[in-house]
Amino acid sequence: MTATPTTMAMGAAIGAGLRRALDADPTVLLMGEDVGRLGGVFRVTEGLQKDFGAKRVIDTPLAESGIIGTAFGMALRGFRPVCEIQFDGFIYPAFNQIVAQVAKIHYRTAGAVQMPLTIRVPYGGGLGAVEHHAESPEAYFAHTAGLRVVTPSSPSDAYWMIQESIADDDPVLFFEPKRRYWEKGPVDTVTAPDISLHQARIAHPGGDVTLAVYGALVATALAAAAHAGADGLSVEVIDLRSLSPIDFDTIEESVRRTGRLVIAHEAPVFLGLGAEVAARITERCFFQMEAPVLRVGGFHIPYPASRAESHYVPDTDRILDAVYRVAAL
C-alpha cells in the first residue's frame, strides 16, 4: 500500500526530518542560536526542544566559532551534532573551525577518526534582508576537500536529504534556500526517493539546451523552461542537489544529447560553482558541444542592499537570455 504524500512547506519539511532523526538516534542533537525555545528565526526547529529536551536541542551563545568548535569535540566523542548557522553571512567567524579542523580530521588521522557533523546554513537572498543576511558562500566549502556540500530545492528533498546528511559519517554543509522555506510540495514521509544524497536529478526533461541549477534557482529555472517551451525551445533542467561531490555524469549525459549548457546560481559567477561545471563538461563533451557554456549568476560585488537585490539575483529573464543566446549559436 502506497502512503499518501503530505503537503509541507520546505521549512516544515526540514523540521520534520530533524524530528525523525532525533527520534531515531539518541546521539543526534541540535545546536544553535535560538533553535530551542524560539524554534529558530525561521521556526524550522519549532517544538523540538519541548519534545526532546534542552540537552538535545541546545540554545547556544552568539558565537559561531564556539558552536562549531563545541560540536567538533562532541562528534569526536560519538555524538552526531546538527549545528544551525542562523544566517549565511554569520558563518565566517566559524570558517577556520570548519575548513581547518572539521574538514581535515579524517585525513589527518589516516581515516581513524570520523566527523559526523551537519551544519545547516540558510542561504541566499529573496527576503530583502540587511547585510550579512543574504549571501551564497557555498563555493568556499565546496572548494575544501573533506566537506560534503548539499542543497535541496523542494520539501521532499529537504525532508530526506537532512536525514541522509545527519546519518553520514563525513561532515556535511546543508545549505537551505531560505526564500523557499514557505513554498509547499508533496512529501512522502514513508518511502525514501530512489536517489542518493549526491546524485543530481532531471527536474524537467528537454532536448535542445541543458540548464544546470541548484537550490532556490531550480524553481526559477523551471519557470524559464516553461517560457522557452512556449517558444518551441526544449530546455532540460538539472537540479544538482549536491555541490561537493558534483554528479557530473548526469550533466554529461544530458549535454551529449543537447549539445548546449547554461549554468545558473545566485553566488557570483567569478570562480563560482558554474566555472567548475563548465570546465569539466567542456573536457568531457568537447566534440558534442554546439556552443560554449554560458554562466548566469551574481555579480562580483558584495551582496547589495535590499532595494537593489532584484538586479543582483538571477531571474527568469536573465536565465532565458542565456538560454536563447546559447541556442542561437
- The DSSP-derived string for 219-249 is HHHHHHHHHHHHTT--EEEEE--EEES--HH
Of 210, 202, 211, 200, residue with least CA distance to 245: 200
Q: Tell me: the pLDDT tens digits for 246-295?
A: 999 999 999 999 999 999 999 999 999 999 999 999 999 999 999 999 99
The yes-or-no answer to whether 8-187 and 201-328 have a common fold is yes
227 catalytically annotated? no
Look at residue 131 in the predicted model and tell me its pLDDT.
84
Q: Which amino acid does the sequence have at 13?
A: A
Measured CA angle at 250 (ends 245, 252), to 5 deg: 105
Q: Tell me: the pLDDT tens digits for 216-234?
A: 999 999 999 999 999 999 9
Q: Any idea which residue has 567538533 for its cell?
A: 72
Cell of residue 79, nine digits: 555524538
Domain covering 201-328 assigned CATH 3.40.50.920 in the classification: yes
Cis bond upstream, residue 245 (ω within 30): yes
Give me the mean pLDDT over the 181-204 stretch.
96
Q: Does residue 1 carry a pLDDT above 70?
A: no
Q: Which CATH number fits domain 8-187: 3.40.718.10, 3.40.50.970, 3.30.390.50, 3.40.640.10?
A: 3.40.50.970
Domain ranges of the chain: 8-187, 201-328
CA 158, chain centre distance (Å): 9
pTM of the model: 0.96
State how far the alpha carbon of 15 is from the alpha carbons of 77, 241, 311, in Å. Answer: 25, 19, 32
Burial of 24 (0-12, 13-18, 19+ CB in 10 A): exposed
DSSP state of 86: S
Of 321, 278, 275, 325, residue with least CA distance to 300: 275
Of 291, 299, 289, 235, residue with least CA distance to 265: 299
Give me the mean pLDDT over the 199-210 stretch.
98
Bridge partners of 204, per DSSP, are 237
- Considering 106, 133, 198, 204, which one is annotated as catalytic? 133
